Amino acid sequence: MSEGRVRKELMGIYAVWWREFKVFQREKSRIVSSIVQPLMWLFLFGSGVGASVSVNDINYQDYIYPGILAMLVLFGSVYFGLYIVWDRKLDVLKAILVAPVSRISIFMGKVLGGCTDVTLQIIVLFLFSFLFPSINPWGIPLALLLLFITSIALVSMGLALGSLFESLEGFQVISAFLIFPLFFLSGALFPVDDKLPFWLQGLVKLNPLTYTVDGVRGVLLNVNIFPFYVDFIVITFFAVTMFLLGSVLFSRMK
């Protein structure tokens, strides 16, 4: 590829990212609700359960804080990706797809746009971290990195699924059979140890999101099952796989 060609593709990626960022800025009610929901998990659910439960001598609210961060990344990213079904229905995407920019670049712009959305929401949640005394603030940058990589994986997954579906009916199915199981089986709300039934332990360890929760919990609370490098490698592998799969499916999309 010539230098001019590369520059044009980069400008295309930036253009798509820029569009997503504008949309993000406009939809303020969506941002507020996407941040209020995890806060409710932390303060309503967390303090309710926390009244009678603590894990490894850590307050339950503090214990699930990394899990709720992962939940925000999960829901925010996958729904962002699935949103292209709607874009396609409204023909918004059509004008972008006929531009002289490769599909891969459009896909990359979309992924980066989704990751930016989610990362900004995560940063807002981090602003509340001082309310959770066990959280180590020095772990936040590393936690942010892990969550960002996870977001690349999950936005790609959402886009991959979105390019397969023609209608919005698939939303419910994906929510029920993919997003919720991924959340519940990630150890976000409970510790993954030998007290868990054997089958549940197996499923949890197959879930890539488990490694995000574990890694973030490791850097923020110093509680983990796997060494950090294992979490990091698994998540990165997950992101690369999903990114490649997503870009292939997105390129084939009609």
Q: How far is the CB of 21 from another protein (least distance, A)?
A: 11
Smaller CB separation from another protein, 106 or 204: 106
Q: How far is the CB of 158 from another protein (least distance, A)?
A: 19
Interhelix angle 228-252/103-127, nearest 10 degrees = 140
Contact stretch for another protein (CB under 8 A) within 9-17, 41-49, 116-124, 177-185 = 9-17
Distance of alpha carbon 149 from alpha carbon 243, whole angstroms: 11
| 96 is an interface residue for another protein by CB under 8 A | yes
Distance of alpha carbon 122 from alpha carbon 217, whole angstroms: 15
Q: How many residues does the chain have?
A: 254
Q: Of 6, 51, 99, 131, which lies in the binding site for another protein, with binding defined by CB under 8 A? A: 99
Q: Of 3, 57, 91, 169, which lies in the binding site for another protein, with binding defined by CB under 8 A? A: 91
Q: Of 6, 40, 47, 94, which lies in the binding site for another protein, with binding defined by CB under 8 A? A: 94
| 21 is an interface residue for another protein by CB under 8 A | no
The size of the interface with another protein (CB under 8 A), counted in residues, is 23
Contact stretch for another protein (CB under 8 A) within 11-19, 115-123, 124-132, 211-219 = 11-19
| 12 is an interface residue for another protein by CB under 8 A | yes
Q: How far is the CB of 247 from another protein (least distance, A)?
A: 18
Q: Which residues pair with 233 in a beta bridge?
A: none
| 3 is an interface residue for another protein by CB under 8 A | no
Contact stretch for another protein (CB under 8 A) within 57-65, 92-100, 126-134, 143-151 = 92-100
Q: How far is the CB of 5 from another protein (least distance, A)?
A: 9
Q: Of 1, 28, 100, 198, which lies in the binding site for another protein, with binding defined by CB under 8 A? A: 100
Distance of alpha carbon 116 from alpha carbon 250, whole angstroms: 20
Contact stretch for another protein (CB under 8 A) within 12-20, 186-194, 195-203, 235-243 = 12-20
HEC string of 96-134 equals: HHCCCCCHHHHHHHHHHHHHHHHHHHHHHHHHCHHHCCC
Phi, psi dihedrals of residue 59, rounded to the nearest 5°: -50, 135
Q: Of 95, 138, 195, 198, which lies in the binding site for another protein, with binding defined by CB under 8 A? A: 95
Return the number of other C-beta atoms located less than 10 Å from residue 84's C-beta. 21
**Residues at the site binding another protein, with contacts judged by CB under 8 A:** 7-8, 11-12, 14-16, 18-19, 22-23, 26-27, 90-92, 94-96, 98-101
